[in-house]
Structure 1
């Protein structure tokens, strides 16, 4: 967006009911060394210059104009959007579920691989004795180290624990008594969640140097293990989940399997890369501002941010954002995402299996699109692929509905204020104020350090309205206002809302010293934040490819729905995988490993 238009949009944001498209990326100087060291020093020492710098950034980006009459009235409601809303999965008892997929056909011992290896492929291979869990274990251990040298996706793994879990699974299959369709299927968990026997440090040296192995699994890992899934390690994440680029000052850089020169996106970078590379058909991620959906989109996977409260947050290393954070699946396919969601939510009986996703009939399904937002992408090829995908849905019977969404700029600013406030507050509570202050300067990487230090100043600001409300309080009130807006749209105007997932191609990873590019980060999260602010579910699925020399770069489309409509969203995602639907072809990544039963 041109600078003049951006300024006009920012000015218009003051009007509470202005329908003009107003979303503008956060504006701040791009800081690299040595400038980032100087600004960091001024902020850390609470100097007048540092406070003025942070205050000017807040004013320039519209933070002080968060308040509206509606948001001020909402301050007293104490309302938590979408919290605690549960989903009920239709179930059916199927003896040998799911059926063999394209990569597991029994017509030959080494069939041509036409898609990513899925849970169905593992289950069928074990049932048919094409391979055994211990054979998969040997293959996996052979490839973990090799793949890590290329991608750095799995930062910690324990061969003895992996062997023990696979041996138990093999014993169950030998007795023809697997616990579930995911028995013997490997997965990884983001370093933000505890897993028994593993350090959990949320990707930061502030915790890593004093962390001890967890004594028990977090809730979702325990649930998946109870269904027989095999935890193979902790996946790479950006520091405290607050960086978008896949870089971590402790665990180094995680790269994209589709082009190792490029970023996989954060903060669940390792989970997305591990799935794309074939190490596992699903992984656990955490999403406070797109951190499941962004790496899924850039790694051609399905990423689901569930309804707030559906999946337990129990067992997180630190509650970096209780308000905005969600735990959910990154998976090779929509069907795998459904399976994973089903077993993540609670412990299940052996026969309790979610009904397989069928190609849905979407006749008269109302897909809402706010076209100015939808088309606000930085690459015309992304826009073309996403618009073509919407047209294909229309050809299949969907009703494309033009909608207007106010408050998008306010949603972004409220999100930034809340997530920084909660992360800093959680770390202070965990470590104590003095230890945290020391850790900010001694242990944090410069990118996260700068964000934390700027947030200290923003937290102390008040809004520009006559009431002078604390900025963070007003941000929480805005969250409620935005939830009401989206809930109303999804009840009265449309069934789902569609956007591109990412407005840019995966950027090339930076070489050299630290950098902070707030504008680039804000742009990357353009389509992410409303689902986090509202707690509503959202899914991304791959809908096409952009060729870059010998590399194939995926393009994601996002669907956002009403509370507890995860199955509907996954059915739409499945439509793009099914030959009877849109049928987008799969491209093998540059870095990919196949288990022994697949070519």
Structure 2
């Protein structure tokens, strides 16, 4: 009997690899189901803008032959995924989510490092997934693609900027996916879609080309174990990224249970700026923290050391990146991306002195964030203070564009690993994320801790059935 979409969705990458090894499933069969799922589900969620069915099927045939010979290329050989629009995929037009590039998209001459590692490991690339304009929104809003919708509630956003990848994961189209994160673009959609997502230490996953010293690529999945499996692949070395860290062999192999007893958690209920924490989010996060305490974790509340002035400076600092990118385009092309252009144009009057002052305030916030871990092993806080908002909006009504990033953006500045795990659902059935932040370079411990905390939280969930 042929595999059904629901069976495929519920297996996950780890189970697929076990089935390949036993000969119970083949990459050709699985890829066919993934393509059928994409066909059925994408009209509802708008997560995929480019498909390479023929290329995927050919790659699956090659993978099947390798498995027949018991010679898989890597720990994800034959597993389907999508590539985010913001990552170079050789020969495939790249829009970075914005209609400002509709007439003249970027045509990458090579793969980004993480995409190259996926290919080299035998991962099946189904196509490319959507993202918001220039990666600067916490929503699936895109002037190029239209809104990407959340599989848990199609009226809600999937989050941004890794919007298409997160929606495709939650809908079951793919079991693993690489996101990118400059202020929260892995963790916010992971929270909104009930996923596991890791922003690694800066440099842990080679990134090229890179226009910002805070942007990273990292793994997303429906489970912490699958997230760790993907991390094994994409953390492979690449000399093109001069900032990449030495290869960490400890990332190889399955994650191990971490010991929570005696581990010191600093609990940050709010960060001192941004959105107020929704009451249901607060209850679910506090309940998750209580479960960690039951396992022996030591938890201490932390008063937030940050203020709105620092938050505004951080947003202004990043605004210059988008303004520079858009300023190189013709005015009539920029006009096609009205929201991001209007947001970026606020940087037009800044002097070099103003921009440096913004940078200094980002460093002050960085220092404060680092100090919070001086007396703690891990920070814990809500990933986002709210659940997913309306799909047609770029940010919650009445709030600034960076407001939903308030709990995530600090930890890009500090270059620390930070991850989001689902810690439950609201009464309306929307996922809530728990964020864990660890010391710089502790990426292996982050994966071990993710698997442990996921087990402790034991969130019961039945994935959306959209097919």
> Could you report, residue by residue, the CA deviation over 1:156-190 in whole angstroms, capped at 9, with x for unpaired residues?
11111111211110110011111122000111121
Contact 2:95/2:106 (CA < 8 Å) preserved in 1? no
> Could you report, residue by residue, the CA deviation over 1:260-297 in whole angstroms, capped at 9, with x for unpaired residues?
11111111110101111111111111111111111111
Which of 255, 260, 268 does residue 370 from structure 1 map onto? 268
Secondary structure (helix, strand or coil) at the match of 1:266 reads coil
1:218 Cα shift? 1.0
Contact 2:195/2:223 (CA < 8 Å) preserved in 1? yes
1:347 Cα shift? 5.5
Equivalent position of 1:470 in the other structure: 353
1:531 Cα shift? 0.8
Q: Distance in 2 between matches of 1:315 and 1:332?
A: 28
Equivalent position of 1:555 in the other structure: 432
- Shift of the 251–439 alpha-carbon distance from structure 1 to 2, 3 Å rule, reads same
- Shift of the 168–477 alpha-carbon distance from structure 1 to 2, 3 Å rule, reads same
Secondary structure (helix, strand or coil) at the match of 1:171 reads helix
1:358 Cα shift? 2.9
Q: Distance in 1 between matches of 2:197 and 2:65?
A: 32
Secondary structure (helix, strand or coil) at the match of 1:358 reads coil
Equivalent position of 1:425 in the other structure: 324
Q: Distance in 1 between matches of 2:324 and 2:214?
A: 14
User: TM-score, structure 2 length as denominator?
Assistant: 0.90
Q: Higher relative CO (CA 8 A, sep ≥ 6), structure 1 or 2? A: 1
- Shift of the 401–116 alpha-carbon distance from structure 1 to 2, 3 Å rule, reads farther
1:193 Cα shift? 0.9
Q: Distance in 1 between matches of 2:260 and 2:59?
A: 41
Secondary structure (helix, strand or coil) at the match of 1:252 reads coil
Contact 1:324/1:419 (CA < 8 Å) preserved in 2? no
Which of 407, 411, 416 does residue 527 from structure 1 map onto? 407
1:575 Cα shift? 2.4
Equivalent position of 2:244 in the other structure: none
Contact 1:374/1:500 (CA < 8 Å) preserved in 2? no
Equivalent position of 1:271 in the other structure: 165
1:590 Cα shift? 4.0
Contact 1:366/1:400 (CA < 8 Å) preserved in 2? yes
1:577 Cα shift? 2.8
1:366 Cα shift? 0.6
Is 1:359 the counterpart of 2:236? The answer is no
Contact 2:207/2:217 (CA < 8 Å) preserved in 1? yes
Tell me which structure has the larger Cα radius of gyration: 1
Q: How does 1:281-296 map to 2 (within 5 A)?
A: 281-296=175-190
Runs of 4+ in 1 over 6 A off after TM superposition: 112-115
Secondary structure (helix, strand or coil) at the match of 1:544 reads strand
Q: Distance in 1 between matches of 2:77 and 2:459?
A: 28
Which of 204, 213, 216 does residue 323 from structure 1 map onto? 213
Contact 1:301/1:331 (CA < 8 Å) preserved in 2? yes
Equivalent position of 1:169 in the other structure: 63
Which of 135, 143, 148 does residue 249 from structure 1 map onto? 143
- Shift of the 584–374 alpha-carbon distance from structure 1 to 2, 3 Å rule, reads farther
Which of 98, 103, 107 does residue 209 from structure 1 map onto? 103
Q: How does 1:580-599 map to 2 (within 5 A)?
A: 581-591=456-466
Equivalent position of 1:340 in the other structure: 230
- Count of residue correspondences: 454
- Shift of the 247–193 alpha-carbon distance from structure 1 to 2, 3 Å rule, reads same
- Shift of the 116–483 alpha-carbon distance from structure 1 to 2, 3 Å rule, reads farther
Secondary structure (helix, strand or coil) at the match of 1:328 reads strand
Contact 2:117/2:234 (CA < 8 Å) preserved in 1? yes
Q: Distance in 2 between matches of 1:515 and 1:561?
A: 28
Equivalent position of 2:388 in the other structure: 506
Q: Distance in 1 between matches of 2:296 and 2:262?
A: 6
Q: Distance in 2 between matches of 1:232 and 1:352?
A: 30
Contact 1:311/1:326 (CA < 8 Å) preserved in 2? yes
- Shift of the 354–408 alpha-carbon distance from structure 1 to 2, 3 Å rule, reads farther
Q: CA RMSD in A?
A: 2.7
- Shift of the 357–411 alpha-carbon distance from structure 1 to 2, 3 Å rule, reads farther
Is 1:404 the counterpart of 2:303? The answer is yes
> Could you report, residue by residue, the CA deviation over 1:32-70 in whole angstroms, capped at 9, with x for unpaired residues?
xxxxxxxxxxxxxxxxxxxxxxxxxxxxxxxxxxxxxxx
5+ residue gaps, structure 2, are: 239-246
1:374 Cα shift? 9.0
Q: How does 1:433-448 map to 2 (within 5 A)?
A: 435-441=329-335, 443-444=336-337, 446-448=338-340
User: TM-score, structure 1 length as denominator?
Assistant: 0.71
Q: How does 1:161-200 map to 2 (within 5 A)?
A: 161-200=55-94
Contact 1:300/1:542 (CA < 8 Å) preserved in 2? yes
- Shift of the 371–515 alpha-carbon distance from structure 1 to 2, 3 Å rule, reads closer
Contact 2:270/2:304 (CA < 8 Å) preserved in 1? no
Secondary structure (helix, strand or coil) at the match of 2:154 reads coil
1:372 Cα shift? 4.8
- Shift of the 205–584 alpha-carbon distance from structure 1 to 2, 3 Å rule, reads same
1:324 Cα shift? 2.6
Q: Distance in 1 between matches of 2:230 and 2:47?
A: 20
1:452 Cα shift? 1.4
> Could you report, residue by residue, the CA deviation over 1:554-595 in whole angstroms, capped at 9, with x for unpaired residues?
1110011111112222333222432xx23222222143x6xx
- Shift of the 199–255 alpha-carbon distance from structure 1 to 2, 3 Å rule, reads same
Contact 1:192/1:200 (CA < 8 Å) preserved in 2? yes
1:113 Cα shift? 6.8
1:254 Cα shift? 0.8
Is 1:134 the counterpart of 2:32? The answer is no
Q: Distance in 2 between matches of 1:211 and 1:509?
A: 25
Equivalent position of 2:449 in the other structure: 572
Contact 1:258/1:590 (CA < 8 Å) preserved in 2? no
Which of 528, 537, 557 does residue 417 from structure 2 map onto? 537
Equivalent position of 1:393 in the other structure: 292
